[in-house]
Amino acid sequence: MNLPLEKTVALVTGASSGIGEASALALAKAGAAVALVARREARLQSLAKRIEEAGGRALVIGADITAEAQAREAVEQTVKHFGRLDTLVNNAGVMLLGPIAGANVEEWRRMMDLNVMGLLYCTSAAVPHLLDAAGGGPRRVADIVNVSSVAGRLVRMGSGVYNATKHAVGAFSESLRQELSTRHVRVSLVEPGATDTELRSHNRPEIVAALMTRLGDIKRLEAEEIADAVCYLVTRERHVAINEILIRPTQQTT
Ligand SMILES: NC(=O)c1ccc[n+]([C@@H]2O[C@H](COP(=O)([O-])OP(=O)(O)OC[C@H]3O[C@@H](n4cnc5c(N)ncnc54)[C@H](OP(=O)(O)O)[C@@H]3O)[C@@H](O)[C@H]2O)c1
Reduce the DSSP state of residue 120 to 3 states and report it. helix
- pLDDT digits (tens), the chain, 254 positions: 789 999 999 999 999 999 999 999 999 999 999 999 999 999 999 999 999 999 999 999 999 999 999 999 999 999 999 999 999 999 999 999 999 999 999 999 999 999 999 999 999 999 999 999 999 878 999 999 999 999 999 999 999 999 999 999 999 999 999 999 999 999 999 999 999 999 999 999 999 999 989 999 999 999 999 999 999 999 999 999 999 999 999 999 99
Cβ distance 51 to 58 under 8 Å? yes
Residue positions counted in the chain: 254
pTM of the model: 0.98
Å from CA of 199 to ligand 1 middle = 6
Active site residue 162: yes
Tell how far the Cα of 231 is from the centroid of ligand 1, in angstroms: 18
Q: Residue 250: helix, strand or coil by DSSP?
A: coil
Report which of 223, 141, 230 is spatially closest to residue 188, judged by C-alpha positions: 230
Distance from the first to the final alpha carbon of the chain: 42
> Which atom from ligand 1 is nearest to the alpha carbon of 195?
3
Cα 135 to Cα 177, 234, 236, distances in angstroms: 16, 16, 17
The bridge status of strand 9-13 relative to strand 87-90 is: parallel
Mutation choice for ligand 1 from 110, 195, 247, 248, CB with most ligand atoms inside 8 A? 195
Protein residues whose CB sits closer than 6 Å to any atom of ligand 1: 13-14, 16-20, 38-40, 64-66, 91-95, 114, 147, 149, 192, 194-195, 197-199, 223
State the CATH architecture for 9-247. Answer: 3-Layer(aba) Sandwich (3.40)
pLDDT of residue 39: 98
Task: Please report, for the chain, the start and end positions of each structural domain, with discontinuous segments joined by +.
Answer: 9-247
Going by alpha carbons, the residue nearest to atom 17 of ligand 1 is 199
Q: Which residue type does 1 have?
A: M
